[in-house]
A and B are shown apart, each in its own frame.
Chain A
Amino acid sequence: MRAFTFERAGSIGQAAVSAAKPGAKVIAGGTNLLDLMKLQVETPSQLIDINRLPLDKIEDTQVGGLRIGALVRNSDLAADQRVRVRYGVLSRALLAGASPQLRNKATTGGNLLQRTRCSYFYDITIPCNKRSPGSGCSALGGFNRMHAILGASDQCIATNPSDMAVALRVLDAEIETVDAAGNTRAIPIADFHRLPGQTPQIETALRPGEIITAVVLPPPPPGVQLYRKVRDRASYAFALVSVAAVVETVGGRIRSARLAFGGLAPKPWRVPGAEEHLVGSAATASSFDAAATTVLTNAAGHGGNDFKIPLARRTLHAALTAVTRT
C-alpha cells in the first residue's frame, strides 16, 4: 500500500472541500478501496474518513418513499423493516451480495462506487484501459467469463459488480450529492453510472470532490418484487446474471413491469422496450421469451462469456414465471 495522509472529516462540507483536492479519496466502509489500495490499483495520497458524519439514518420521505443516508451499512439497510416489507427487491439484492462481515462494513454510497472485479483491472502488471487509459483491454481475447455482453466498448468489457445498484435501478432511485461549493443535486440512478465508450476510467457522473449524501427511493411501485441471482457458488460470489423484477399481474395479464439486470453490462441494465412489450401481455412463456429477445437484441459475447446470452434468457424466464405466479 502506498503511503497517504489521513484526515477525519468533521463536517460534510469539510469532507467535500478535502475530497476535491488532487489525489484525495473518501473512505467509508473501505471494503473495496482498501482491497484495491493493497494491490496499488488505487493509490490515493490522502484519505478522507467520513465515517463519523451524520449520514447513517433511514428516513421516511413526505411522498411515501425512503431517504437512505450514504453511510447506512448494507446489513442495516437489508434488515430495515420498511425495506423488507416495501422494497423486498432491495433487501434481497443486498443480502445476495458479498458476505455478512463485508455487509456490516460496506455502505450505501460506497456500494454505488465500487469498482469492477475484472481480474485484469486488479493486476497492475497487465494492460487495462480502465486502470491505465490507452494501455489496452486484456479481457478482449482474454479470460472473459465474467464480462459484459451488453453496453461494452472496444476499450473495456468490464461489468459493474453491484447487486444493490440493480435493485436501485429497478426502483428508480435518485442519488443525492454535495460538492465542495456546497451545491447539491439529485442524480437519477439511470444517469449515475457511465458506459465505458472511449473513456472506461470514468465510471460515474460524480465530479471531483462531489460526495454522495443519500439515496432516495420513490414510493414502491405496484406489483410483486423479486431478485434472482445466478452465480458460480450458492453464496458469496458475484453475479453471472441477475434479474431484479417488479411486476404487477391481474387476471393472468401483466399490468406493469420493471426489469433490471446485473452481471451483463458495465452498469445496472434496463431495457424500456422489453418492459413495454410485457405490459398488456398474457403472463406466458411466449411473452417472456419475446421480452428476453428484446433485452438481448444487441448482446455480444467475447468467447468466454457467450454462455451469458442463453443464461440471461433463461434467468429472465424463471424470474418472470416466479413473479407472475399468483
Chain B
Amino acid sequence: MDEDTIIRVQVTRRAMLEAGTAAAAILVTGFAQTTQAASLPDAEGSLTQMAVTLQVNGHGHSLNLDPRTTLLDALREHLALTGSKKGCDHGQCGACTVLLEGRRINSCLTLAVLHDGHAITTIEGLADGAALHPLQAAFVEHDGFQCGYCTSGQICSAAGMLSESRAGMPSYVTADLAEAQPALTDVEIRERMSGNICRCGAYPNIVAAIRQTAGLPS
C-alpha cells in the first residue's frame, strides 16, 4: 500500500464516520421515540428534548437532547467528535476520558444535561492547529499505544493528571500527605493513571511519554 492509498483510506474512514453518525442519529431517534411511547404509561414530559449548550474545545454548541444522553454520546453521536471512545460505558476503562472545566472525568458516566454551559475539552481540542499537544507528540515518540483505542482517553487523562500534580494533589502512594508538592515518580504516574486501562499493555511506554512531558529525567 503506497502513501497515497493510506491517505485516501484515512479520508474515506473519517468521511464514513461522519456520515455514519448522521445516519445513526436518525435511527436512534426513531427507535427511542417508539420505545418511549410504548413503554411509558404517561409519556408527558418524557419525550421532551432539553436544550443544552456545551462549550466544546472553545466552541459553543446548542443541542436538543433526550435527557438520557450521556456526555460521551453527545460528543460522539451529536457533535461527530469521535475521538473520545466508548469502551466499557460503565466508568471502568477510561477510554471516554475528557476534561470538564480542566478536570478529567469519565464522559460515559455523566449526562450532557448536567453540563449546560460547561467547558469540555476532548482529544480533538488538545492540539494547537497543526502542532500536536506535547503529550500527543510524546505518545508518538515513545510508542505509547498499539491498537490506539484507549489512547485519546490516556492522553486526556494524562493532561488532567499533570494539572492535578502541578496543583499538589496527593495520590494513594504519596508517602507524606502533608507534603505540598509530591514528586511525580514512576510509581506516582502509574497510580495516578490507574483509571485508564490499556489492553495492549503499552503501560511502560505510556509512563515514558508522560515522564518526558512532565520534564522528568528518563
Instruction: Give the interface of A toward B (CB within 8 A).
Output: 1-6, 27, 29-31, 34-35, 38, 47, 49, 51, 75, 78-79, 81, 84-85, 88, 91-92, 95-96, 98-102, 104-105, 234-236
**Contact between chains at B172 and A35 (CB < 8 Å):** no
Q: Assuming A38-B90, A51-B114, A75-B103, what are 18 further A-B pairs, CB within 8 angstroms?
A: A3-B46, A4-B46, A4-B68, A30-B114, A31-B109, A31-B110, A75-B164, A79-B169, A84-B178, A95-B170, A96-B172, A100-B160, A100-B161, A100-B194, A101-B160, A102-B195, A234-B194, A235-B172
Chain B nearest CB from A191 CB (Å) reads: 29
List 11 A–B pairs whose Cβ atoms lie within 8 Å, in order of A's numbering. Answer: A3-B40, A3-B46, A6-B67, A85-B177, A92-B172, A95-B171, A100-B157, A100-B195, A102-B109, A235-B194, A236-B194
Given that A75-B169, A78-B170, A99-B94 are contacting pairs, would A34 and B194 also be in contact in the complex, using a CB cutoff of 8 Å?
no
B89 within 8 A of A: yes
**Contact between chains at B177 and A84 (CB < 8 Å):** yes
Considering only CB atoms, which chain B residue lies closest to A27 in the complex? B114
Considering only CB atoms, which chain B residue lies closest to A3 in the complex? B46
Considering only CB atoms, which chain A residue lies closest to B47 in the complex? A3
Complex Cα–Cα for A29 and B111 (A): 10
**Contact between chains at A34 and B97 (CB < 8 Å):** no
Given that A51-B114, A100-B192 are contacting pairs, would A4 and B67 also be in contact in the complex, using a CB cutoff of 8 Å?
yes
Residues of A close to B157: CB separation below 8 A = 100-101
Chain B nearest CB from A91 CB (Å) reads: 5
Across the A-B interface, give the 9 residue pairs with the lowest CB-CB distance, nearest first.
A99-B195, A235-B194, A6-B67, A3-B46, A95-B172, A84-B177, A79-B169, A236-B194, A5-B45
Partner of B97, one of A38, A47, A101: A101
**Contact between chains at A6 and B50 (CB < 8 Å):** yes
Residues of A close to B103: CB separation below 8 A = 75, 104
Given that A3-B68, A38-B89, A236-B194 are contacting pairs, would A104 and B109 also be in contact in the complex, using a CB cutoff of 8 Å?
no
**Contact between chains at A5 and B46 (CB < 8 Å):** yes
**Contact between chains at A100 and B177 (CB < 8 Å):** no
Number of interface residues of B (CB under 8 A): 48
Chain B nearest CB from A187 CB (Å) reads: 27
Complex Cα–Cα for A95 and B100 (A): 20
Residues of A close to B94: CB separation below 8 A = 99, 101
Considering only CB atoms, which chain B residue lies closest to A163 in the complex? B172
**Contact between chains at A101 and B106 (CB < 8 Å):** yes
Residues of A close to B97: CB separation below 8 A = 101
Complex Cα–Cα for A34 and B68 (A): 9
**Contact between chains at A34 and B67 (CB < 8 Å):** no
Complex Cα–Cα for A5 and B43 (A): 10
Complex Cα–Cα for A235 and B197 (A): 11
Considering only CB atoms, which chain B residue lies closest to A100 in the complex? B195
**Contact between chains at B105 and A104 (CB < 8 Å):** yes
B104 within 8 A of A: yes
Residues of A close to B40: CB separation below 8 A = 3
Given that A85-B178, A102-B109 are contacting pairs, would A35 and B91 also be in contact in the complex, using a CB cutoff of 8 Å?
yes
B168 within 8 A of A: yes
Complex Cα–Cα for A232 and B170 (A): 22
B191 within 8 A of A: yes
Considering only CB atoms, which chain B residue lies closest to A49 in the complex? B114
Residues of A close to B43: CB separation below 8 A = 3
B84 within 8 A of A: no
Complex Cα–Cα for A100 and B192 (A): 7
Residues of B close to A27: CB separation below 8 A = 111, 114
Considering only CB atoms, which chain A residue lies closest to B156 in the complex? A101
B74 within 8 A of A: no
Contact bitstring B65-91, A, C-beta under 8 A = 1, else 0: 011101000000000000000000111
Given that A5-B46, A6-B50, A99-B195 are contacting pairs, would A31 and B170 also be in contact in the complex, using a CB cutoff of 8 Å?
no
Considering only CB atoms, which chain A residue lies closest to B167 in the complex? A79
From residue 162 to 214 of chain B, which have CB atoms closer than 8 A to chain A? 164, 167-172, 174, 177-178, 180, 190-192, 194-196
Complex Cα–Cα for A2 and B35 (A): 10
